[in-house]
Structure 1
């Protein structure tokens, strides 16, 4: 990722911690897909007018071949080397913008850590538009305005002390009240419109600051109907910034926000499934109402702004590009912002087995919560309610093969248990009830297909889909399986989930992490996930002795599964 190190810190008087910076990148451990996605957004972009073919055609200055050999025997056809300066002009780092809510007040040490993270992000191509909040300053306090401005200038000073350029934008940028067009028909929006708005001319100071390479820092001020500058909630200021239909582009910076970052003292949104520890990943399209309704009143003491920040994320992401995400993070975890920028993933995958999540050292009260617009999730139990054309397109596009349509759907007519559909068939998990090896054996819960469109592999859909699959099969019976996906909502007994994958499938590494075990069968690998409720009951009965290597109820099941799975016909032509 050479673009990352192409610019030094601006302040020569600051001993910038390159070691911390590099370690933060390495800890992110980005996959090849993560790296490609990052470079697509922040990598080198070559302006159209400077295509190499338009700059210089060597054939126009070299003599004919024969004459070249006589007159210039030492001339070679090696590519011309371009100076680093010219390369940086022809291939600029394409910068994106982030909206940042700085929910203080913070101590000098805390603010120092946050500022360092902001400077690191800028080096990676993400320029912040920061809005200050002061939770401990009540509305209407004496000296309120002076205190807010002083806090704004303090943030600017700390950023500059770390080598960044920062500009305080003390004039009012936003106006109170919804946008005039939103007042006329508020019901036309799936998400309530912001309580403040901006006009294109209001954004001139922010655009000017960004183009000058400066981080704009805004106090939470707005113009009321009498053109007075008043303090409002920082959430209203931030929510008013994304919906800018006149947002323009320059050659090296995209002014449409790509990230929303909420940096506070609380951390992420607490989850009922993690005993109040934060959610790892939130799918707003299917989980927002459920999270709000199951929020424990006792959590308000430690995380009083969790729901209001979640509402802010929902508002902003409804206007931001589909690939955008929001992160709620404690000042203690500011380095995780780098990992989030590069991978656009949570600190730990939410689709990992709960036993691994519960013992993971990365999970703490201040673990960040990643929030995405996400996809709706629905569980369909009848093939009559499945859109076969869309499902076929999904499977063929995802696997890159041609489906043998007639026999595939004939098989599903006999054995289908359910289909989990993400969004408008951007992803699906098909589970069947396969007959056991004999009449006395219970049916086998078999994952027939798990598919996500390539365009959605990396936007959280895979994890959202697998979590729903967990809730409907091997996770049933646990309180953390009570999710609003239209399925059983945690009621019932969990069942072992079995599936097979070709031995050379690149996805197997992902399956290894999520399965209870696997067994090689020639050119295939058999995977399974044990019913979690049964495992927990078995462990509790044995107290400290733990489970043996092979329990009595496990004896022979692998052979039975293998016998059944190997007879399932291929779905492809």
Structure 2
């Protein structure tokens, strides 16, 4: 028995050690290492962050267009006006080249696979060490993808005018630098002021009433410290200091520093491009493009709360048309829960006015650092704002910490009569969007009889045309989406979502408080109607339609889509209490056959 007891004891001990080793392994996977000072971020975490972004083919192409190797310009041919001397060379007379050969463009693109671009980042603390580690890890990942951060530090708990505010901000700056380096990045504190207090000289004469100016400015010569850090591969970290008229360094609002940098860096990049040599042999430059492509506001509260999402954040904001409306619908309790939401909204509006049209801003909580990578690659919100409202409300990805994406955007307006349509611009939009020639006479003759409304985005960069089509067996015509078009140059910049949200608010979403967006239409007042449209079965856009429709049915080479009136669905569900709705309600019987018959009778307007 003794050998058996010993064997059993040894086996139990072995199992105990195995379990402890397994537990230790699992615990080490769930927790950060105890001493990560010299350990860079895991490559596996970096790769998983990219995969979670789930970029589409268009997203990937857009990212590579900004950060991929730039094509080599074609060599310039010698001028025909210059007579070249004819020289006969023998192999013995050819001199030996003593200079070092230049690296090939292919080799250079492999060694330096991305073009470095810049992002303005507001780190709005205070943050704990663990929170700051998470933020720094995300910023280091972004640098690997080619987006180098220019960080401006802010501390909400440090009141203006405190005796030790300068030393406290300097310590916070150094703390962020140390954390970035602990995560494997390289950072440099820029403790001297890089902006000047007050408006830029000349702004009074050339002031644009539609443009918000920061209370600070900067000149290209003031950006030397930032350029030096970027050229050395370091992330500049800047406290919110500015030089006043007496050349004293004083603390100012971090938003004014960011606004001045957005303007100054864009202007400096413009000067760089005008003075650069286009014949650079295709080798990536050691310099960094100062034009800010992203504005990132990292705080503790997350995005801007929305009245349409029960206080959860806005997903995508069109600043050109929604800015005032967000202020008007900002509930009083949110001033306590999200005290800096409106000031950060103003910051995004100010900075994006100076940044390229394709740029975006993101307001994100420290709890969502991985969303920064998704925003860089896709330049889209975490969830599309044009998805059905019920689907968004029940989506577990929509939380209080979901980031808010902000774009400069476009004004949205609704036209009710055909005489209000600018026909040349509409023709150009439709033909470029569909790649076909419009039969203008037949198209506008039909609209004169059936037009309900037209939604226009910007200066005819997008349009949604809705008509009233007669339907046999029904006294009420069907609401038909005749055309939905966006210029190719604006596909992927948020215009599609802006347009569809306005379409929702004017048709099947009408009657709900969250449809009262300022698009020049009915403001959410009225009764919603079912919206019907058709699309070719092989249309690549159908996947997008599937996600936004209530249902669809195949009709030969066509697919019929529809969106149910949301207000009627809400009333029906309330009338049936907790019983839910059946698969086919009485008001649904026969409507697909009626819709299919009406839609098939609509003639084509293409030549």
Q: TM-score, normalised by structure 1?
A: 0.90
- Is the 1:128–1:215 Cα contact (8 Å) retained in structure 2? yes
Residue 335 of structure 1: aligned partner? 370
- Aligned equivalents of 2:489 and 2:37: distance in 1? 43
Aligned to 2:239: 219
Aligned to 2:601, which of 557, 567, 572?
567
- Contact map agreement 1:46 1:92 (CA 8 A) in 2: no
- CA shift, 1:462, in A, is 0.1
Secondary structure at the aligned position of 1:180 is classed as: coil
The structure 1 residue matched to 2:520, chosen from 486, 505, 513, is 486
Tell me the CA shift for residue 24 of structure 1.
1.1
Are 2:353 and 1:318 aligned?
yes
Once residues 553 and 321 of structure 1 are traced to their aligned partners in structure 2, the CA distance between those partners, rounded to angstroms, is 49
Counterpart position of 2:116: 95
| Aligned equivalents of 1:133, 1:449: Cα separation in 2 | 47
**1:20 pairs with one of 40, 45, 49:** 45
After superposition, where does 1:22-171 map in structure 2 within 5 Å? 22-48=47-73, 86-88=108-110, 92-171=113-192
Aligned positions of 1:467-546 closer than 5 A: 467-546=501-580
CA offsets 1:398-455 (integer angstroms, 9 cap, x no match): 00001111001100000000000000000000000001214x5201000000000000
Q: In the aligned structure 2, how far is the partner of 1:93 from the partner of 1:37?
A: 13
1:246 alignment counterpart: 268
List runs of 5+ in structure 1 lacking aligned partners.
Answer: 1-10, 52-80
Is 1:433 aligned to 2:468, yes or no? yes
Q: Helix, strand or coil for the counterpart of 1:431?
A: strand
Partner of 1:208: 228
Structure 1 residue 557: Cα displacement: 0.3
| Distance of 2:73 and 2:216 partners within structure 1 | 38
Pair 1:85–1:572, CA change in 2 (3 A): closer
The farther-off stretch of 489-498 and 223-232 is 223-232
Are 1:299 and 2:320 counterparts? no
Structure 2 gap ranges (5+): 1-35, 77-102, 277-284
In structure 2, the residue corresponding to 1:260 is in which secondary structure? strand
Question: Counterpart of 1:259?
Answer: 294
Q: Report the 3-state secondary structure (helix = DSSP H, G, I; strand = E; otherwise coil) of the residue aligned with 2:148.
A: strand
1:87/1:37 CA distance change after superposition, 3 Å: closer
User: How far 1:184 sits from its partner (Å)?
Assistant: 2.9
Per-residue CA deviation, residues 378-403 of structure 1 (Å, 9 max, x unaligned), is 00001101001100100000000011
Q: Given the alignment of the two structures, is residue 237 of structure 1 paired with residue 271 of structure 2, yes or no?
A: no
Which contiguous aligned blocks of 4+ residues in structure 1 show a shift greater than 4 angstroms?
81-87
Alpha-carbon distance between aligned partners in 2 of 1:375 and 1:32, rounded to the nearest angstrom: 25
Residue matched to 1:177: 198
Among 181, 187, 211, which residue is 1:191 paired with? 211
Residue 118 (structure 1) shift: 0.3
Q: Tell me how large the CA RMSD over aligned residues is.
A: 1.7
C-alpha deviations, 1:100-147, integer Å up to 9, x for none? 000001000000000000000000100000000010011111211111
Alignment match of 1:361 (pick from 396, 420, 427): 396
1:230 partner SS: strand
Whole-Å Cα distance in 2 between the matches of residues 414 and 130 of structure 1?
57
- Tell me, in whole angstroms, the C-alpha distance in 2 between the residues paired with 1:50 and 1:34: 31
How many residue pairs get aligned? The number is 531
> Displacement, 1:211?
1.2
